[in-house]
Each structure stands twice: as C-alpha cells, then as structure tokens.
C-alpha cells in the first residue's frame, strides 16, 4: 500500500514539474497573436516557450524575443498589432512573403528595433508616421511592396538610420524636409542610402534636402514624377557615389557645381527635360557610368571631358544634340566598354584608333558620320546604321551597317563535372547534383559596367556570394548565376540559384538564414555591383516536413507519459498512426496509377473523360512510327523523342514519347489528356490521342508541318513571312488564344505564349501549341489564380511575376511581346536588350512608321506597303501595358487585328494562300517544333514522379 502511494506521489510531482516548465514565456502571447493573423508559421512554433524550445526564426536574449526572421517562409495573412508587445525586439525580417498583405500596424513602441525589413511582400496603405519613434532603427527596408501615401516626415527623427529603402512602392507627394515644427529627411545626416526609385514622388527635389553635413553615398530617385531643377546644393554632398535622377521630369540646366562630386562613379540624368549646356563633368575622376540620354541640352560640340575621364566604362548620351567629330582619344580610355551616342549630329570621320578594350561596343546610329577609318586587329562591335556612310552603295555591305545581335547569355559553368538530368523541378547544380535550389532574382541598381558579356565579372560575384554563405556556416553546396539582362529601369538582373549541401533540399532554418543574408545586406557584393536588392521566388517547397499539428503531440505525449493513462493513450495514438499511414499509402498508390481501375480496352470506369481523343495501344503506335525508327524521329529533348507517324487512316501525327525517368505521375497524365482533349479550334493544335501502358506515356497530336513561328522568323524553316503573312499569323494566334480564354470550358490560361509555341500549318495558319504550363480557371467567381510563377523569360508578364496572380491578361502581355517579335524579327531579349523597351525607345509617333525603320525585320518587306503597321504597334504596346487592367482582352485584340487587316485591304476571314505558291524553298533538316522541350512539358511536365514498374 505504501509503495503505491509513493508511486502516486512521484507521478504528481512529475506532472507539477511538467506544468512548471510550460509556464508561458513573457513574449509567448504576442507571438501567439502574431501567429493567429498569419498562416504557414514554422511548425516548430508549438510549445509555450519560444526562447527555450528552438522556435525557428526566433532569437532570444534573457528569455525575451530579440529577433524574428521569417523571410521566404510562404507566410500569408496580416501583421497583428500585438507586435508592439515584443518590446525587446531588435530585428524583424518578413521579406519575400508575397502573401503578407494589409497595412503595418502601430509599431511605435518597439524602442529597440534596429532592423525592419519587409522586402517584396504585399503590404499596402501608408507607412505609419509612428515609424519615427523607432529611434534605434538602422536598417529600414520597405521596398517592393504597395505602400501608398507620402514619405512620413518623422523618418527624419531616425538619427541612427543607415539604410533607407522605400523603392518600388506607390508613394506619392513630395520629399519631406524639416521646417521648425516638423522633421524631414534633411536631418538624416548619418544616413548613407536614400533608395526611393520607382514610386510616384512629385514636386521639386527640395534644395534643403542636401547639405555639406550629409554622408549620403547612394541617392536613388529614378523613375518618379519629380519636376523642377536639380538643386545646386546636391554639389555639396561630397560623399556621393551613385546618383540616379533619371526617368523624372526634371528641367532647367544642370548645376555647374555637379563636378564637385568627385566620388560619384555612376551618374544617371537620362530621360528628363533638362536644358542648358551639356554638363561639364571635368574633374569627376571616379566616374564609371554616365547616362544623360534623352534631354534637350543646348546644341553642343563634343565636350572635352569625353576623352579625359580615365575611369569611364560607359558613356550614354543618346539624343542630346551633340555635334562635331568624336575624338580618337575617347576610344583609348583604358576601361571603356560601351559608347552609345545615337541620334546626335556627330559628323566627319570616325577613327577609333587602337582601343584598349577588347570588347568595345559603339553605337552611333542616326548620326552624320561619312567615313570610318578601319584598323585591323580590334574586336569592336560598331553600329553606324543610318549614317551617311551606310547610304553609300559601297559601304552598305559592311557589318557596321547592319544591326548585329550578340547574346549575353551566361550561366555559372559546371565545376569540372557533367550536368546530370534531374527529375521534376530539381535542377542540376554546378557540382552536378540534383536538388531543389532556393531561387530568386538579384537586382543591381547601378552596376559600374555595361559589358554584360564579360563572364569574369559574374565569376567575381559568384565567388563573393558563395563565400558569404559559407562563411555564415550555411549548408550551401554551390551557387549558380544566370541570364544577365538589363531591365526597363536599367537595373541589371541576374537569376540566382542556391543549392543545398548534403541533402536535396534546404530545411526551414537554412532558408530563412540564406534569405536573411540577402535581405539584410549581410552579403556585400563587389563594388561594381552595389547597391543591390534581392527578390526571392515565391514558395520554396519544404516538402516532407512534419506539420505543426503532429509536432504539437510530442508535448502532450510527454505530459501524458508521466500520468497513469499513458499506455492506453500511446496505444490509441499508435493505432491512429497506423491507420493514417495505411490510408496515406493507399492514396499514394491511387495517385500513381489512376488507371488501376480502368481498362482501356473495355473502356470501363469513369476515367479518363475524353472528348474526341482516343487511346492508342503501344503496338499501334509502334507500327505507325516504323518501330520508333530514327528516320521517323523529328525532334528530341530531355523528356524523350518526338516521332512522325502515319495512322492507319492515313492521318499524319506527331507522337511525343516520354523516356524512362521523365514521365509524370499517372494522375497528372490523366488530367493533362482530359484537358487537351477538350480543346478544339482551328487555331489550336489538337490532341488526337494518347498511349498509357507498358511503362509508356505518349501523346499523339495532329502533325503541323511548317514548324514554329520562331523557325520562320529566324529563317530556319525557309518560309519568308511578309507583312501580310505576319498579320495572318497574328490573327490566327490571337483567335486561338481567344478561344482558350473565352470559349474553352473551363477557360484556360496558356501561361507560355511565345513564338516557339505558335505553329504554322501547310496553309500558314497559326496554331497555338503547348499547354504545358496551362492553368484552368476553375472557379468562375475568381478572376485570378495564385500560382507559382512559370513561363519564359522575356515573355513573362511583370505584374504576374510580382503578384503571382495569374489572369488572362498575363497571356495578353506575352502576346504583345509576340507581336513585337513579329515585326522586328528579334527575340524578346537579345544582347541583354528587352524588345519592349527597345521599341518604346525607338518609337516616335510623329514620324513615318513611328520611326521604327531600323528596328523592323528587313524580311517584312520594307520596300512594300506596311499599311496598318502603326496601329499594330499601338496594339502591341497596349498589350504590354504595365498593369493588366490597362491591357485589352484577347477578344478586343482579335477585333483590332481584323480592323488592321481591313485597313491594309485584306479580308481577315479569307484562308491563307495555298501551299504551292506560298513557299520559297522549304528547307529540310530544321528541328521540328515538337522538339521544343517546353512543349513536351505538359502541365508541369512529362517528368517524375516515376512510375513504379508493376
């Protein structure tokens, strides 16, 4: 009896201990409230002690929460006002959680907050004025959200502020400066960074903003609505290194003391309304990058500083009324990479002497140069199109009389290994291992270089990144950089992939630490790349992680184990677990083989629901492709091969056959064929059938003989597309897309409209192909679907990219890019130049053909009538409008192309001319469009999970 009491006492005391350990931490309630406003907080947030129990993303000092870093956690929801109670908080980083919305709650109580970092979320509303009470603030990064209202003057009170980034929001109003009663940004004499670009700030730049006390190094005001003159006080801020005032409406003359700024290395004054003399930059001996294009300076001779600033890499003064000869000394500046002086009155003989640099690019289009002194042995890329020299018949064949296009494609090379073929969304790392990288885009707001083809510059950046991660002891195996491009704001963009070491994916802790290295500017790029910001791709997949619900059981189990009923409970749990596992296994099995209960030969069961498409046997397809002979192969890619075949009925088909290891799960396959079989329109490639047996997955399409639009535009297919044919192709593609948006049931968003996915049949009718990335618009109530951003670089709708909200207008944007491709014959991004911007730049609506002669594809037939071209350009431009709501619907696009055709005297409803007269030589041997890798990637791909052999 006595021993029984003892046991009882022990049990009681253990229970008391357990309860004592679970006394809530002081900050628990505030975090709990924070959690209730947000979804997807880490599963480790379950106990009562955020400080003792290793809550991911939480750091404590003396049992108080001092830091919350939850960047890239896929958080959604809103920030709760209870945040205020975390009075010891020093760092709050919620960056790259696109699902965080709403406004910032009052935060004035956070007297210890030094880093507030909310980059790339979806916060809106005004920046609260109480932010001025956070007197310890050092880093304030609110960039790339949707904040509205004006910059709170109270920010002027943040005397410790080092970094102020408000860029890429919707801020309006003027830049606040102090006046007796109210504070202003002029008081921030210790702040090094004013990053205010891409907003709608207006009014004059206050001259009071600047003083000689300031220690500002980066002044970024680009792409706002600022007016008035550049204040002369700017010349007092001797510490400045980067000045971007471009893309505003500044007028008047540039203050003559600007050249006091001897530390400035990047100076952008372009795209304003500046007048007066061309600025005298003599003495600015640190200058690397100068862009003063598109201003109306007084007519001026080439200024002397052109040939004296030894550090110059880049000189851009397009359309600035320069005249006279270019000095030979300019080209022997030791670091020079790019000279763009289009649309000036530069005349005489061009002599580039013996340039230092081996990769010099010189663009002097639209000038008055009548002679060129050729020197051999130098590799410069020169453009003299539209100069008198290119109008002489002897010179017109010179390479400098055509616009050449060289690519600046780069990606980090493999590290002495062969890249491996990876399944699904895994990617082969530079060390040739398949893994799920953490991905995003690095934006460099003012690189000091312009030669995007010099790969050593990326290598320097690559090494710096890798070192930064590894010195922070993060589990990073390797880093890959790719696709350098210059975007519409002249930022250099680079794709970044960070690969995990040891495993094939990062865990949560690793992700939030890597993200923090980038969001908090812990990573300091090489000086050529400063300043930068990073935007992570949404939704890193932490698959396989225990959910918070199962985790929270551990606490209960420990408590219960101490109690008497432990066995019963454990048994119950074990039973539940086993049942759960069994269900899961059943579900998994079903997903792998949805045809398990379906015999194609008996046509029993309800799946799949096919309209018109038929199920082929392996034998049938084997026969019609001559045993999948090489002679019948018309293309191949990572997924497998495409064969041409002739069915017993005589119909020509293209058969895509997935190879082992690149098949998709049965359920996806079924969904895919159901979707494809529902689509019937003469401007959409249709599915004839499929095969799903013997570990084979094949799709059978109608055969489209004349390849893709890309093949024709590039000359590969031998089909010359004149203006009339291009109009017809545009109309066909538009009708196909209109069908998908409006008439398909349910409507389909294509998501990957590009010239490679528009095929031409024997009558040159355009057909839309590849629903590889398509999304169904299931719920008619919803006007968009949120998805992981997919698509092809160059065609990707920037709004979709930023918001992840997919609507039909995303296709309209890509279609607009396609229209520009149709008239220019250029890919969307060539030589790091974005076609949308290039056309905008070249466009002058007051001139004939909008002044686009140089940019038009010569094969369009420049000598012939291009009736309607201007309207076509207008249409393309409206399709690529920044905001989806400003873009037309596909039905409106179809109507407008029909109008344009009528204007050009064509009947939009007539069939194209017949084959026999349509073709110049149809060259054989070009790769068939079906070989396009994306094309096969139907709905996320003919890619694993692998089918288990039965």
Nearest to ligand NAG of 420, 464 (CB atom): 464
Neighbours of 556 (CB within 10 A): 11
3-state class (DSSP) for residue 543? coil
Count residues binding ligand NAG (CB under 6 A). 15
Task: Please say whether the beta carbons of 532 and 525 come within 8 A.
Answer: yes
Q: Contact region for ligand NAG (CB under 6 A) — 450-458, 479-487, 546-554, 859-867? A: 450-458
CB 330 to ligand NAG: min, Å = 16
CB 313 to ligand NAG: min, Å = 9
Q: Contact region for ligand NAG (CB under 6 A) — 178-186, 452-460, 834-842, 920-928? A: 452-460
53 is catalytic: no
CA separation for the pair 676, 660 (Å, rounded): 23
CB 326 to ligand NAG: min, Å = 11
H/E stretch holding 59: strand 58-61
- DSSP letter for 54, please: T
Q: Contact region for ligand NAG (CB under 6 A) — 46-54, 449-457, 593-601, 918-926? A: 449-457
Pick one of 131, 457, 514, 744: the residue that binds ligand NAG (CB under 6 A): 457
Pick one of 108, 126, 283, 555: the residue that binds ligand NAG (CB under 6 A): 283
Pick one of 109, 135, 332, 359: the residue that binds ligand NAG (CB under 6 A): 359
Nearest to ligand NAG of 529, 850 (CB atom): 529
CB 846 to ligand NAG: min, Å = 24
Nearest to ligand NAG of 323, 423 (CB atom): 323
Token readout for 537 is: 């791709």
> Is residue 334 involved in binding ligand NAG (CB under 6 A)?
no
CA separation for the pair 485, 458 (Å, rounded): 12
Task: Please say whether the beta carbons of 313 and 336 come within 8 A.
Answer: yes
Token readout for 703 is: 């055969």
Token readout for 215 is: 């220690």
Nearest to ligand NAG of 343, 775 (CB atom): 343
Task: Please say whether the beta carbons of 662 and 638 come within 8 A.
Answer: yes
CA separation for the pair 209, 458 (Å, rounded): 36
Q: Contact region for ligand NAG (CB under 6 A) — 226-234, 351-359, 391-399, 625-633? A: 351-359
Radius of gyration of the chain (CA): 31
Neighbours of 691 (CB within 10 A): 22
Nearest to ligand NAG of 205, 457 (CB atom): 457
Which long-range contacts does 915-923 make (Cβ < 8 Å, 24+ apart)? Answer: 915/762, 915/763, 918/719, 918/763, 918/764, 919/718, 919/719, 920/718, 920/719, 920/720, 921/718, 922/706, 922/717, 922/718, 922/719, 923/716, 923/717, 923/718
Task: Please say whether the beta carbons of 246 and 223 come within 8 A.
Answer: yes
Among candidate residues 422, 494, 395, the one with its CA nearest the CA of residue 452 = 494
CB 215 to ligand NAG: min, Å = 24
> Is residue 454 involved in binding ligand NAG (CB under 6 A)?
yes
Token readout for 625 is: 């492709």
Pick one of 397, 456, 629, 950: the residue that binds ligand NAG (CB under 6 A): 456
CA separation for the pair 278, 735 (Å, rounded): 51
Q: Is 483 left (phi over 0), alpha (psi -120 to 50) or beta?
A: left
List the alpha helices (DSSP H) in 532-596.
548-551, 553-562, 566-592
Pick one of 54, 358, 503, 788: the residue that binds ligand NAG (CB under 6 A): 358
Q: Which residues are registered as beta bridge partners of 361?
A: 338, 381
Q: Contact region for ligand NAG (CB under 6 A) — 147-155, 278-286, 638-646, 683-691? A: 278-286
CA separation for the pair 252, 277 (Å, rounded): 10
Pick one of 54, 182, 282, 503: the residue that binds ligand NAG (CB under 6 A): 282
> Is residue 664 involved in binding ligand NAG (CB under 6 A)?
no
- The contact pattern for ligand NAG, residues 298-327, with x = CB under 6 A and - = no contact, is -------------------------xx---
CB 388 to ligand NAG: min, Å = 10
- The contact pattern for ligand NAG, residues 470-509, with x = CB under 6 A and - = no contact, is ----------------------------------------
CA dihedral sign, ordered 603, 604, 606, 608: negative
Q: Contact region for ligand NAG (CB under 6 A) — 82-90, 211-219, 279-287, 372-380? A: 279-287
What distance lies between CA 861 and its chain's CA centroid? 35
> Is residue 276 involved in binding ligand NAG (CB under 6 A)?
no
Q: Contact region for ligand NAG (CB under 6 A) — 26-34, 36-44, 451-459, 835-843? A: 451-459
How would DSSP label each residue in 481-492? EEEEEE-TTS-E
Q: Which residues between 728 and 757 bind ligand NAG (CB under 6 A)?
A: none
CB 456 to ligand NAG: min, Å = 4
Which of 752, 761, 770, 797 is flagged as catalytic?
752
3-state class (DSSP) for residue 571? helix
Nearest to ligand NAG of 347, 470 (CB atom): 347
Residue whose entry in the numeric block shows the structure tokens 């795209």: 271
Pick one of 154, 451, 480, 636: the residue that binds ligand NAG (CB under 6 A): 451
Nearest to ligand NAG of 452, 769 (CB atom): 452
Nearest to ligand NAG of 350, 769 (CB atom): 350
Q: CB neighbours of 575 closer than 8 A, spacing ≥ 6?
A: none
CB 452 to ligand NAG: min, Å = 11
Pick one of 24, 334, 348, 413: the residue that binds ligand NAG (CB under 6 A): 348
Nearest to ligand NAG of 225, 256 (CB atom): 256
Nearest to ligand NAG of 453, 716 (CB atom): 453
Nearest to ligand NAG of 346, 442 (CB atom): 346
CA separation for the pair 818, 752 (Å, rounded): 11
> Is residue 357 involved in binding ligand NAG (CB under 6 A)?
yes
CB 347 to ligand NAG: min, Å = 4
Bridge pairing between strands 652-658 and 640-646: antiparallel
* Omega prior to 112 cis, within 30 of 0: no
Q: Which residues are near ligand NAG by CB under 6 A?
A: 259, 280, 282-283, 323-324, 347-348, 357-359, 451, 454, 456-457
Active-site positions? 752
């Amino acid at each position: 009896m006595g021993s029984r009491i003892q046991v009882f006492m022990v049990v009681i005391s253990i229970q008391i201990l357990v309860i004592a350990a679970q006394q809530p931490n002081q900050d628990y309630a505030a975090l709990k409230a924070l959690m209730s406003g947000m979804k997807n907080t880490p599963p480790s947030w379950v106990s009562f002690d955020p400080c003792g129990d290793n809550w991911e993303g939480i750091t404590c000092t003396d049992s108080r929460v001092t830091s919350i870093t939850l960047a890239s956690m896929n958080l959604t929801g809103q920030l709760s006002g209870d945040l205020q109670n975390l009075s010891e908080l020093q760092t709050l980083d919620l960056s790259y959680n696109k699902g965080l919305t709403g406004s910032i709650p009052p935060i004035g109580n956070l007297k210890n907050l030094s880093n507030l970092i909310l980059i790339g979320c979806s916060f809106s509303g005004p920046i609260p004025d109480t932010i001025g009470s956070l007197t310890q603030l050092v880093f304030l990064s609110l960039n790339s959200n949707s904040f509205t209202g004006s910059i709170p003057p109270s920010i002027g009170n943040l005397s410790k502020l080092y970094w102020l980034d408000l860029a890429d929001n919707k801020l309006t109003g003027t830049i606040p400066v102090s006046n007796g009663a109210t504070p202003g940004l002029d008081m921030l004499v210790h702040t090094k960074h004013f990053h205010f670009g891409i907003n709608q700030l207006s009014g004059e730049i206050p001259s009071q903003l600047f003083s000689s006390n300031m220690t500002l190094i980066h002044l970024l005001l680009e792409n706002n609505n600022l007016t008035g003159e550049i204040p002369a006080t700017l010349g007092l801020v001797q510490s400045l290194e980067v000045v971007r005032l471009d893309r505003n409406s500044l007028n008047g003359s540039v203050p003559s003391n600007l050249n006091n700024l001897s530390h400035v290395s990047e100076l952008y004054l372009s795209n304003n309304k500046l007048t007066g003399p061309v600025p005298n930059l003599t003495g600015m001996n640190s200058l690397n990058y100068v862009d003063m294009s598109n201003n109306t300076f007084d007519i001026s001779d080439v200024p002397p500083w052109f040939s004296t600033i030894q550090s110059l890499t880049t000189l851009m003064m397009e359309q600035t009324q320069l005249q006279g000869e270019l000095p030979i000394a300019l080209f022997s500046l030791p670091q020079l990479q790019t000279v763009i002086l289009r649309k000036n009155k530069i005349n005489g003989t061009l002599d580039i002497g013996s340039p230092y640099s081996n990769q010099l690019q010189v663009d002097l289009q639209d000038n008055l140069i009548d002679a060129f002194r050729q020197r051999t042995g130098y590799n410069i890329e020169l453009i003299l199109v539209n100069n008198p020299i290119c109008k002489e018949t002897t010179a017109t064949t010179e390479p400098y009389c055509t616009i050449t296009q060289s690519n600046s494609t780069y990606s980090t090379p493999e590290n002495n290994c062969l890249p491996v073929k990876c399944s699904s969304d895994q990617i082969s790392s530079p060390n040739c291992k398949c893994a799920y990288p953490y991905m995003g885009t690095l934006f460099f707001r003012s690189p000091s270089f312009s030669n995007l083809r010099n790969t050593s510059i990326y290598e320097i950046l690559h090494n710096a990144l890798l070192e930064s991660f590894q010195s922070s002891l993060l589990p990073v195996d390797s880093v890959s950089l790719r696709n350098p491009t210059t975007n519409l704001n002249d930022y250099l963009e680079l794709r970044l992939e960070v690969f995990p070491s040891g495993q094939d994916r990062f865990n949560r802790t690793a992700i939030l630490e890597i993200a923090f290295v980038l969001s908090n500017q812990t990573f300091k790029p090489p000086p050529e790349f400063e300043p930068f910001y990073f935007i992570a791709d949404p939704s890193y997949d932490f698959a396989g992680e225990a959910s918070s619900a199962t985790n929270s059981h551990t606490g209960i189990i420990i408590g219960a184990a101490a109690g008497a009923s432990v066995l019963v409970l454990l048994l119950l749990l074990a039973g539940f677990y086993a049942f759960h596992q069994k269900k899961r296994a059943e579900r998994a099995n079903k997903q792998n083989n949805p045809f398990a209960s379906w015999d194609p030969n008996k046509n029993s069961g309800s799946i799949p629901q096919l309209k018109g498409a038929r199920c082929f046997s392996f034998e049938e397809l084997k026969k019609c492709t001559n045993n999948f002979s090489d002679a019948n192969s018309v293309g191949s890619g990572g997924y497998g091969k495409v064969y041409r075949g002739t069915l017993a009925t005589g119909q020509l088909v293209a058969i895509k056959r997935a190879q082992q290891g690149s098949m998709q799960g049965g359920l996806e396959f079924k969904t895919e064929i159901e979707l494809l079989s529902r689509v019937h329109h003469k401007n959409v490639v249709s599915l004839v059938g499929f095969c799903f047996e013997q570990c084979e997955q094949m799709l059978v399409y109608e055969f489209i003989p004349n390849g893709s639009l890309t093949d024709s535009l590039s000359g590969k297919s031998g089909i010359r597309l004149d203006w009339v044919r291009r109009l017809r192709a545009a109309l066909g593609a538009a009708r196909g897309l209109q069908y998908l948006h409006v008439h398909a049931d349910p409507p389909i968003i294509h998501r990957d409209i590009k010239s490679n996915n528009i095929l031409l049949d024997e009558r040159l009718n355009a057909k839309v192909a590849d629903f590889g990335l398509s999304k169904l618009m299931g719920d008619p109530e919803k006007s968009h679907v949120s998805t992981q951003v997919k698509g092809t670089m160059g065609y990707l709708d920037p709004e979709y990219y930023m918001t992840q909200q997919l609507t039909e207008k995303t296709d309209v944007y890509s279609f607009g890019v396609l229209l520009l491709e149709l008239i220019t014959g250029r890919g969307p991004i060539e030589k790091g130049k974005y076609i949308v911007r290039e056309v905008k730049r070249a466009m002058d609506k007051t001139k004939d053909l909008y002044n686009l002669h140089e940019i038009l594809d010569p094969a369009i037939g420049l000598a012939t009538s291009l009736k309607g071209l201007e309207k076509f350009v207008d249409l393309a431009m409206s399709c690529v409008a920044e905001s989806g709501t400003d873009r037309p619907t596909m039905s409106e696009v179809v109507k407008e192309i029909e109008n344009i055709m009528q204007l050009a005297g064509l009947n939009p409803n007539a069939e194209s001319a017949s084959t026999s007269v349509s073709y110049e030589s149809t060259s054989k041997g070009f790769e068939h469009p079906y070989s396009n890798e994306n094309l096969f990637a139907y709905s996320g791909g003919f890619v694993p999970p692998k089918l288990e052999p039965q």
